[in-house]
Amino acid sequence: MYQYNKMLKPNARKLRSEMTPEESHLWYDFLKKLPIPVYRQRMIGNYITDFYAASAKLVIEIDGAQHQMTENRESDAKRDAFFRSLGISVKRYSNRDVNRNFRAVCEDLLKTLGIAASEMKK
C-alpha cells in the first residue's frame, strides 16, 4: 500500500462512479475478469490512476485526446516517472486503442501481466 493524498479521496470516488465509456468497457469487459485484483481510480501519492494491478505493480491509463497536448504529455511524463520511482510500471492506451483495437489492448495486458487467456474468469 502506497501513501496517498487524502484530499484526493472524494475525486477518486467521483471518477469511479463516472468512468469514461472506454474505461467502463475495459473494466467490465476485461479487467474485472482477470484472476488478479485490479483497482479502479487507485490513489498513489498525489495521483489517481485509472486502474492499478497491485500484484503486478502496474498502472493502466486510458488517455483521451487531451493527453496529446504538449503540457499534458509533460505532466504524464512526470507522473510516469513518479510511478517508476516506486517500482511501478505504466501502460498507456488511447481511447482510440480501446475503441478500435480492444482485443489487442487486452492481449497486450495479458502478456504484460503474464496471464494466459485460459485463466480469465467467465
Q: 46, 51, 47, 45: which is closest to 16 by C-alpha?
A: 51
**pLDDT tens-digit map of 55-81:** 999 999 998 756 455 566 788 899 999
Query: Is the torsion defined by CA of 3, 92, 82, 17 positive or negative?
Result: negative
Walk along the chain (122 residues) and give the pLDDT tens digit of each residue: 688 888 889 889 999 889 999 999 999 999 999 999 999 999 999 999 999 999 999 999 998 756 455 566 788 899 999 999 999 999 999 999 999 999 999 999 999 999 998 888 87
SS3 96: helix
Domains located in the chain, CATH noted:
6-114 (3.40.960.10)
CA distance 12 to 46: 11
